[in-house]
Chain A
Amino acid sequence: MPTPSGRRVVVTGTGVLCALGSNSAECWSALREGRSGIAPIQSVEMTGLRFQNGAEAHGFRAEDHFEASRCDLIDRFAQFAVVAARQAVSEAGLDLSGPARARVAVITGTSMGGQASLDRGFVAIYKEGKPRPHPFTIPLTMYNAGASQISMDLGITGPAFTISTACASATHAIGQAFWMVRSGAVEAALCGGSEAPFSPGILRAWEAMRVVTPDVCRPFSRDRRGLTLGEGGAMLVLEPAERAVARGAKILGEVVGFGMSSDAGHVTQPSVGGPTAAMAAALDDAQIEPALIDYINAHGTGTSANDATETRAIRQFFGAHAEKLAISSTKSMHGHALGASGALEAFATLRALREGVLPPTVSFNEADPKCDLDVIPNVARNRQAEFALSNSFAFGGLNAVLAFRRWA
């Protein structure tokens, strides 16, 4: 196995907002207490839809964070990205003045970008009979708006781009940023994802796929009926360990590996081989043995197919060690925030390692023989894990896995 040349990479800042809270402290306290943010959707008229629940970021008001004229120009998904980035940079105490700002990367993930703004534009054209949508529709909708708005907001002039791989977007973004910092391509990176899918058109498109539960998301539970959509954003500041230590930064955890694969199979039907290969690649990249992994923050969408297939992949890859793994799906609390999920879950995983508390899979009712792993049902567990994985498996068969280590 080739040795990855490069530096150790640590996380020195996290910013997060979602249905569980407006910052990292609020979100973590919900995760450890097993409080779900899933509730009836309020921001969209839901009459006639087969599902009613979502995980909305009710605490978020754009005008608390942006001047009125700027609110018009930034879709909610990019607002989440900017606010999470501000929090992460502030926590990290990252210096973005002078030439340093050219050596910082911004890599964001999103699955649907600003499609809610496009949806409004299409209502204007097709329903209201207007000749054209609002002229800001393009800058609002573009998938890179998160990365662009972060770079403008914080004055970061280094490489900035967006990765869109459906539900794995943020994990791919963090992984790419990790590699860029490790290799020395940049001195620091802001990375993560954001998503704001609550618009009538988008919700109906998800309804039509028949993967959204009419109930609440119950990952790995025998009575699970599908996913619950969520919204939010999370960003991490990554930098070389040596530099973080030298400047006296508080280190929140270490990123040790990143692996990717593609199923090259079905567009929505999950596979065992693809996720297995991505977990193997992440551990190869980290140069650690599978038996060192204590906790997996699962993709765990709550669909019948995903959870059973992910279980088989974990069993196949870890063999007997699968019995010793603790696994949870925090989507049971923050919902499936699509392109933001990987970042919300990276945050949950980092905190779990740091605090010695593994967040639970809530709304769990009944064990499923097809999901026969220790899924930490309903109540968080005090357990000091050393290494953890965070899994993200996207529609389209694109898999991404991050490996983290507790920083002691």
Chain B
Amino acid sequence: MDESLAAKVIAEIAAVKRIPLESITIDSTFEELAMDSLDAMNLLFSLEEHFGISIPDEAANSIKDIRSAVARVERILAEKNSAQG
């Protein structure tokens, strides 16, 4: 797992939920962070904006925690880079 990418995702969540960075770890689930479906939607939107990517609806539905969010962003970025390469 890309540590700096994880840190960026966590920072986005902290900003979206307006909660302290320290309250979020790589193992936090959205449920633990009291993120409802709108919060999740807001987070995915800010990740899309931040990384210049598009997260498909099916993928979005399966992202329920930080780890899966980071993994998905990592994969999309990798696909994007290989397509460009």
**Choice from A68, A130, A132, A136 contacting B38 with Cβ under 8 Å:** A136
Chain B residues, Cβ within 8 Å of A73: 38
How big is the A interface, by class?
10 to 19
Q: Please pick, from A68, A131, A134, A135, the residue contacting B54 in the complex, using a CB distance under 8 A.
A: A131
Q: Which residues B32-85 have CB closer than 8 A to chain A?
A: 38, 41-42, 44-45, 48-49, 54
- A68 with B42, Cβ < 8 A, contacts A130-B49, A131-B54 known: no
Report the minimum CB–CB distance from A32 to chain B (whole Å).
Answer: 42
Cα-based distance from A73 to B42 in the complex (angstroms): 10
A131 to B44, alpha carbons, bound, how many Å?
13
Contacts of B17 in A (CB 8 A): 69
Contacting pair B41 A68 (CB below 8 A): no
Q: Is there an interface contact between B54 and A136, defined as CB atoms closer than 8 Å?
A: no
For the complex, what is the distance from the CA of A68 to the CA of B19, rounded to whole Å?
11
| Chain A, Cβ-Cβ closest to B41 | A135
Contact A135-B49, Cβ < 8 Å, known A68-B18, A69-B17, A69-B18: no
Name the A residues within 8 Å of B38 (CB-CB): 73, 135-136, 139
A-B contact pairs, 21 of them (CB 8 A): A68-B18, A69-B17, A69-B18, A72-B42, A73-B38, A130-B49, A131-B48, A131-B54, A132-B45, A132-B48, A134-B42, A134-B45, A135-B38, A135-B41, A135-B42, A135-B44, A135-B45, A136-B38, A136-B41, A136-B42, A139-B38
A residues neighboring B (CB under 8 Å): 68-69, 72-73, 130-132, 134-136, 139
The 10 closest A-B pairs by CB, nearest first: A135-B41, A135-B45, A69-B18, A68-B18, A135-B42, A134-B45, A131-B54, A136-B42, A73-B38, A69-B17
